[in-house]
Amino acid sequence: MDAVDEDYPGMPIFPTVNEMVRELRLDLADWVNAESARFLKRSIYERTEQRVAYFPDHLLGARSFTCPEGHTVFPSWLTKRPPLQPFRAREGGLWRRRSVELVCEACGASFFIELPNVSPWLGEVSLYGDEAFRDIDTGSAAPRYCVTYSLVSRPILEEDDRRLIEQFIGLKRKHFGHSDRVHCKALFHGAGRRGGPTPEQASTFIGEVADLIATFYGKVAVLNAVGVTYKSTQFKKREIEARKAQVFGTLIQLTIEELTKQGMSPRFFFERTDADGWAKNLFAGGRLTLMCKRPVNPC
């Protein structure tokens, strides 16, 4: 530590993240710190691919800054850079970056810009996502795929959250006689098999779950993005993931934008992180840009 923040008396300023972690003895076992600290290792940072290629149109030329020599600087939103992630203090609360360095391409001058904080901050919204990638029956036309990614939030109020979970468990017990985890893909693939639900029972259950979510209108957010792509003869795993990434990146960025406008922070829960964990892996790469915490020009 070599300075104190003039705007917040007594609040230290750390020149590097590593120095902050050491001096504050931050708990790196905490999940927030563990996620943020991953990229302190150069090897992990270098091999994490940054494939996010989406940002809102209104940022094109709409956010600029002036360097010390008077040149106009437009940030490179999608250039790979170390992430601007928070760390949780042992006493509670979060340590956040207050500024980020930009370099003027015209003269090479470096300068810092302030990073905004949501104010007033109203809390977190938990969002649970999953994707589907399916063939579209086009008859004699060229084969196509439909890729969709959906996010469903939990209610913010504890009482609403409790009622939703209780009623969902009730539906599982009503249709299947248990409250175990139910996965739609497995449900329909097993429909009609001995001991499994009939196709009609599976459809009825899904319909009642959708009706249940609808009864919490205004308390549960449902977000969805869909894309359709032609299936080429060389439709390999990497191309499939690229199509998924286009839909996923759009949905995630729009979700962050909309919740930020409302003073909320999204907390994403992704599917497992093995071969099917492309969503979290893509999100990790997206953190390595200025888009993960966008500077705002007060002008």
Are residues 79 and 167 located together in one domain of the fold? no
Token readout for 286 is 């997206």
Check whether residue 36 and residue 138 sit in a common domain.
no
Q: Are residues 67 and 183 in the same domain?
A: no
Could you give the number of structural domains in the chain? 2
Residue 165 has pLDDT above 90, yes or no: yes
Which stretches of the chain are assigned E, i.e. beta strand? Answer: 3-4, 12-13, 65-66, 72-73, 87-88, 94-95, 99-103, 110-114, 123-136, 144-153, 222-230, 264-269
At which of 60, 82, 114 does a domain end? 114
Q: What is the pLDDT of residue 235?
A: 64
Q: What is the mean pLDDT of the chain?
A: 79
Residue 75: asked if its preceding bond is cis (omega within 30°), the reply is: no
Nearest to residue 118, comparing CAs of 262, 286, 288? 262
pLDDT in tens, 96-115: 877 888 899 999 999 988 87
Distance CA 189, CA 196 (A): 10
Select the more confidently predicted residue: 147 or 273.
147
pLDDT in tens, 254-298: 888 788 888 888 888 876 555 556 667 777 777 788 766 544 333
The bridge status of strand 65-66 relative to strand 12-13 is unpaired
User: Same domain for 187 and 263?
Assistant: yes
Residue scoring higher pLDDT (229 or 138): 229
Looking at the fold, whether 59 and 130 belong to one and the same domain comes out as no
70-100 residue pLDDT tens: 999 988 877 888 887 788 888 888 888 778 8
